[in-house]
């Protein structure tokens, strides 16, 4: 049964979705209209990959959360499906918050999400009540389970929170369902709780997978937990982080914890912890495993702090990163755009051994929907260059640049002149590791974003730009002598 609230959202989509298609990024997921945040339920279902997302169709601001819905066969070309969930029950009337999805053995599609309602406490204040709920469907329509919620605050360990208890990531393992859920522990900081179930309707607490102990931020949102290249990896999105060097910036951040899970205590024994993305706009990543065994991650390409800062005439807000293939290298999480992107490459242009020592541009190297690979090395072995810069999405007054400075060993991304009429965070800097003084960068440019992959995916940095689509120029500059190889493809997709 489609509720009145869900039908209203679907009718709204039918009425307005087609208006803005020429304003959207070409190959990054958006809601098409309204507001989106976290990816949800990113998982295979019946031979395709489904992606849901936190969604408020009616305005470009956050509102009572619905789940929007898309599916794809190749992570680049997406088919839009009608909104899947609306806040229409007593237990989720303030929002259907983030969660996951799984294909059941009998072919049904199960969504697990956080139902949010409000309660008034004895002291008169109003707080969230967050519980975990499920809905079952066929890939288009979903029915909320009659005995929701399936996990509530009575199943959190002592000292745990019923206010901050959200974002279940569900998967199947050895015939059991498992879920990792964000919670706030007694010390006020985040913990990831593990639950198990035989049928996805009756759950049991299993243990604490990891806890912040106020080390990496406070509440941990949006966990994902999976095996990768012989290790266990936990992704979390902490709120209220404090800065740690160039590694973590203040506010909402993303952290990956790599190690091995202790089979008895269920705890993840950490071996390495680092940021997932070093740019400005990246949050709440979710992963899935493809049929050919790849672990693919997608994230909200946005930053909560700046989410109110958008050009006044925008008719959609929020986009996802490109889906990225994950691997572990030297104890670090590496990420590269899904290989399917290569099927959309056209018009290859390459240059080799270009000497950059002042401002130059190169014939054929321009555009706003691009896949560019660069190799940069010293042009003069007896004197190291001072910096190398690439300017993107450039016109007479606007540009976005990426700079590498050998003396500090850091990359800086700077979108100060990228169309934002706000005094917000526009710059990030982070150290990179070079082999033989050679820096490799891959840059994916779409209408409203830049994604940078450094040294074959060892680090990534994502950021949103609102530079007008006509700003297509690209140029290079250096102080000192830099030798550069470049390979550029246009990215083309007809929708």
Residues near ligand FRU (CB under 6 A) are 37-38, 54, 65, 97-98, 114, 166-167, 221-222, 283-284
Q: How far apart are CA 397 and CA 399, in angstroms?
A: 7
**Cβ closer to ligand FRU: 100 or 259?**
100
Contact 416, 438 (CB under 8 A): no
Q: How far apart are CA 480 and CA 495, in angstroms?
A: 44
Q: Least distance (Å) from ligand FRU to the CB of residue 438?
A: 37
**Cβ closer to ligand FRU: 65 or 413?**
65
> What b/e readout covers 126-143, taking b as 16+ CB neighbours within 10 angstroms?
eebbbbbbbbbbebeebe
**Cβ closer to ligand FRU: 61 or 343?**
61
Q: How far apart are CA 55 and CA 315, in angstroms?
A: 14
Q: How far apart are CA 457 and CA 277, in angstroms?
A: 11
DSSP assignment of 171-202: EEETTEEEEEEEEE-TTSSEEEEEEEESSSSS
Q: Least distance (Å) from ligand FRU to the CB of residue 258?
A: 22
Whether 38 is a known active-site residue: answer: yes
Q: Of residues 14, 38, 164, 292, which has the active-site annotation?
A: 38
Q: Least distance (Å) from ligand FRU to the CB of residue 467?
A: 26
User: Long-range contacts: 307-314, Cβ < 8 Å, 24+?
Assistant: 307/37, 307/62, 308/61, 309/420, 309/422, 309/424, 310/60, 310/466, 311/419, 311/421, 311/466, 314/60
Torsion sign, CA atoms 38, 40, 43, 45? negative
Q: Least distance (Å) from ligand FRU to the CB of residue 116?
A: 8
Q: Least distance (Å) from ligand FRU to the CB of residue 182?
A: 7
> Nearest-CB residue to ligand FRU?
97
**Cβ closer to ligand FRU: 222 or 376?**
222
**Cis peptide before 149, with omega less than 30 degrees from 0?**
yes
Q: Least distance (Å) from ligand FRU to the CB of residue 38?
A: 5
**Cβ closer to ligand FRU: 54 or 449?**
54
Q: Least distance (Å) from ligand FRU to the CB of residue 179?
A: 14
The β-bridge relationship of strands 324-329 and 473-479 is unpaired
**Cβ closer to ligand FRU: 151 or 356?**
151
**Cβ closer to ligand FRU: 63 or 364?**
63
Strand locations in 185-267 (E) = 190-197, 203-211, 220-228, 231-238, 255-261
Contact 191, 212 (CB under 8 A): yes
Query: Which residues are marked as active site?
Result: 38
């Amino acid at each position: 049964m489609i509720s009145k609230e869900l039908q209203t959202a679907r009718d709204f989509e039918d009425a307005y979705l087609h208006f803005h298609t020429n304003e959207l990024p070409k190959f990054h997921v958006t809601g098409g209209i309204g507001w989106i945040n976290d990816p949800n339920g990113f998982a295979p279902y019946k031979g395709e990959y489904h992606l849901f997302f936190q969604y408020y169709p009616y305005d470009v601001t956050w509102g009572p959360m619905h789940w929007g819905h898309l599916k794809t066969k190749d992570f680049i070309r997406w088919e839009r499906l009608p909104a899947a969930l609306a806040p229409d029950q007593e237990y989720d009337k303030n929002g259907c918050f983030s969660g996951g999805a799984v294909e059941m053995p009998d072919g049904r599609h199960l969504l697990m999400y956080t139902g949010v309602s409000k309660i008034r406490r004895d002291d008169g204040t109003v707080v969230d009540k967050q519980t975990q709920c499920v809905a079952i469907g066929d890939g288009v329509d979903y029915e909320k389970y009659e005995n929701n919620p399936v996990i509530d605050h009575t199943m959190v360990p002592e000292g745990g929170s019923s206010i901050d208890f959200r974002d279940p990531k569900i998967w199947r393992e050895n015939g059991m369902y498992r879920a990792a859920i964000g919670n706030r522990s007694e010390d006020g900081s985040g913990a990831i709780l593990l639950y198990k179930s035989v049928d996805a309707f009756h759950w049991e607490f299993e243990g604490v997978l990891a806890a912040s102990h106020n080390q990496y931020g406070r509440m941990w949102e949006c966990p994902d937990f999976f095996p990768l290249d012989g290790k266990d990896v936990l992704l979390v999105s902490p709120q209220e982080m404090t800065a740690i060097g160039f590694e973590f910036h203040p506010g909402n951040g993303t952290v990956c914890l790599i190690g091995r899970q202790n089979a008895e205590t269920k705890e993840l024994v950490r071996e390495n912890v680092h940021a997932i993305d070093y740019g400005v706009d990246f949050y709440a990543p979710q992963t899935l495993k493809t049929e050919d065994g790849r672990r693919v991650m997608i994230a909200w390409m946005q930053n909560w702090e700046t989410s109110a800062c958008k050009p006044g005439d925008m008719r959609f807000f929020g986009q996802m990163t490109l889906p990225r293939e994950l691997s572990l290298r030297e104890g670090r999480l590496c990420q590269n755009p899904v290989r399917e992107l290569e099927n959309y490459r056209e018009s290859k242009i390459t240059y080799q051994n270009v000497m950059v020592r002042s401002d130059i541009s190169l014939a054929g190297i321009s555009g706003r929907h691009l896949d560019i690979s660069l190799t940069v090395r010293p042009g003069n072995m007896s004197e190291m260059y001072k910096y190398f810069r690439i300017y993107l999405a450039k016109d007479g007054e606007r540009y976005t640049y990426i700079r590498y400075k050998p003396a500090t060993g850091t990359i800086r991304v700077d979108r100060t002149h990228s169309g934002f009429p706000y005094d917000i965070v526009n710059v990030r800097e982070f150290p990179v590791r070079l082999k033989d003084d050679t820096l490799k960068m891959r840059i994916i440019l779409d209408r409203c974003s830049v994604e940078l992959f450094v040294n074959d995916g060892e680090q990534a940095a994502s950021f949103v730009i609102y530079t007008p689509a006509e700003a297509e120029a690209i140029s290079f500059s250096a102080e000192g002598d830099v030798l550069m190889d470049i390979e550029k493809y246009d990215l083309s997709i007809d929708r």
